[in-house]
Amino acid sequence: MQNISVRALRPGRPLLLVVALTLVATACGGTDDTAGTGATTEDVSETAGDATTPAETGTGDATTTPDATDTPDVTDTPDATDTPDATATAGAGGDHKIGYISLGDSVPFVKLVSDGIREEADAAGVDLVFCDSEIDAAKALSCAQNLAVQGVEGVLNFQVFQDSSPEICSAYGGVPTIAIDITQPPCETVFMGANNREAGRMAGAALGEFVSNEFDCDYTAYVSLESTASGAANTDRMGGYREGFEEHCPITNERVLDGADRTDPALEQMSDLLTALPGDRIIVVAINEDGILGAIGAARTLGRENDLYYSGQGTDPSVWCEIKNNPNYIVSTAYFPERYGSIVVPAMMEILDGGTVEGPLYTEHELITAENIEEFYEVTNCG
């Protein structure tokens, strides 16, 4: 494990809380994706059928169905239907056509993944058929059906509902599949994403070391914000957190909040928990940064800012200011989602060209703290 010092925190140190709670919803397609390439864009909609959508479920990095209408946000189609649109972007070469099912571009982490995939596909000169599942099982199935209609040769699959993967794989014909962050049996050719067990362990160990050094392992509760619908990703990542933490301190008074991987559900569940949980040394870990932002919002609303100590996963831009300025945000594991495209697109092209890609394909992980965040990111506009 990399040696990164975790800052010594003195209880009672004033907080500089700048919480970025606004999620920016993004579109399924748009003219900017093809500017300067001579590319064309085509929108195709199909009826989703009778697939159901679980309520408040999880993702490898995001889950619960957002509070939104049934209409996807499509920038170049004002009168969008209830069905997500598959947007085809033709690259300069157009030798292959690949599909991409986004988990939900309203999630900051996912938006970075999607943007990187678009950029890499355009640079590689391939046709990319993009469809946003909007964290919805029915829409993920509809996306798969649309990809089949479009005749894609391979799929980059970032849909979150692992239990739905057999049906979704079948809907797009079981073509070669690169699973992103959530495993996709039975059609998964190779997995690309986080080394979930190690990513959790890294942050858990750093957080446990902090609790040992500062509190001699004397703390109120260990709260885990999880997303069991994402299957193995949740099990491995949050299990890794526990393993790493227990390298330094035992788990005390554990509380698991499921479906708390979106900001609003996490805020609601943490608010309910905090009203019944006194104490000023509450450890909060989360499967992603959205859950952490919800926990921070709950603590601030209840005047409990000094009582909670946080560690999240992903280090997406929504949490940079918290890491830099909030002394109670201890450590995050970075995933660099903006780099995913540079891994999955070349890998898919190799597969479609008859090559073999050995997996899993893991993203790089780094521990990020207030001390080193600006070595990796330019943190500005924190107020």
Residue 205 has pLDDT above 70, yes or no: yes
Q: Judge if 38 and 164 occupy the same domain.
A: yes
The reply to whether omega before 186 is within 30° of 0 (cis) is yes
Spatial CA neighbour of 195 closest among 244, 149, 148, 153: 244
How high is the pLDDT of residue 296? 99
User: 119-139 burial by CB neighbour count: b if 16+ within 10 A, else e?
Assistant: ebbbebbbbbbbbbbbbbbbb
Q: Judge if 44 and 140 occupy the same domain.
A: yes
User: ∠380-19-16 over CA atoms, to 5°?
Assistant: 75
How high is the pLDDT of residue 94? 53
Q: pLDDT digits over 28-74, tens only?
A: 333 333 333 333 223 333 333 333 333 333 333 333 333 333 333 32
Amino acid of residue 94 = G
Q: What is the CATH number of the domain that holds 243?
A: 3.40.50.2300
Q: pLDDT digits over 320-329, tens only?
A: 999 999 999 9
* Residue 84, in any domain of the structure: yes
* Residue 318, in any domain of the structure: yes
Q: pLDDT digits over 142-184, tens only?
A: 999 999 999 999 999 999 999 999 999 999 999 999 999 999 9
Place of tokens 């169905």: 65
Q: Judge if 236 and 372 occupy the same domain.
A: yes
What are the backbone dihedrals phi and psi of residue 154, each rounded to the nearest 5 degrees, phi first? Answer: -155, 160
Q: Judge if 45 and 153 occupy the same domain.
A: yes
The band of 102, judged by pLDDT with boundaries at 50, 70 and 90, is very high
Spatial CA neighbour of 212 closest among 176, 257, 252, 240: 252
* Residue 312, in any domain of the structure: yes
Cα–Cα distance for residue pair 311/332, rounded to 1 Å: 5
User: What is the tally of structural domains in the chain?
Assistant: 2
Q: Judge if 177 and 240 occupy the same domain.
A: no
* CB contact at 8 A, 168 and 157: yes
Spatial CA neighbour of 330 closest among 292, 362, 304: 292
Whether the CA torsion 22, 232, 368, 285 is positive or negative: it is: positive
Q: Judge if 222 and 314 occupy the same domain.
A: yes
What is the three-state SS of 98-166? Answer: EEEEECCCCCHHHHHHHHHHHHHHHHHCCEEEEEECCCCHHHHHHHHHHHHHHCCCEEEECCCCHHHHH
How high is the pLDDT of residue 87? 56
How high is the pLDDT of residue 51? 35
What are the backbone dihedrals phi and psi of residue 144, each rounded to the nearest 5 degrees, phi first? Answer: -60, -40
Q: Judge if 177 and 208 occupy the same domain.
A: no
Residue 363 has pLDDT above 70, yes or no: yes
**What is the C-alpha end-to-end distance of the chain, expressed in Å?**
34
How high is the pLDDT of residue 95? 81
Q: Judge if 211 and 146 occupy the same domain.
A: no
Cα–Cα distance for residue pair 173/134, rounded to 1 Å: 21
Would you state the structure tokens that stand for residue 353, as one six-digit string? 């060209």
Domain interval for residue 189: 31-193+338-352
Cα–Cα distance for residue pair 229/265, rounded to 1 Å: 15
* Residue 13, in any domain of the structure: no
* Residue 269, in any domain of the structure: yes
Residue 23 has pLDDT above 60, yes or no: no
Q: Judge if 36 and 152 occupy the same domain.
A: yes
Q: Judge if 282 and 223 occupy the same domain.
A: yes
* Residue 1, in any domain of the structure: no
How high is the pLDDT of residue 199? 99
* Residue 25, in any domain of the structure: no
Q: Judge if 178 and 272 occupy the same domain.
A: no
* Residue 19, in any domain of the structure: no
Regarding pTM above 0.95, the answer is no
Q: Judge if 327 and 223 occupy the same domain.
A: yes
How high is the pLDDT of residue 85? 54
β-pair partners for 366 = 334
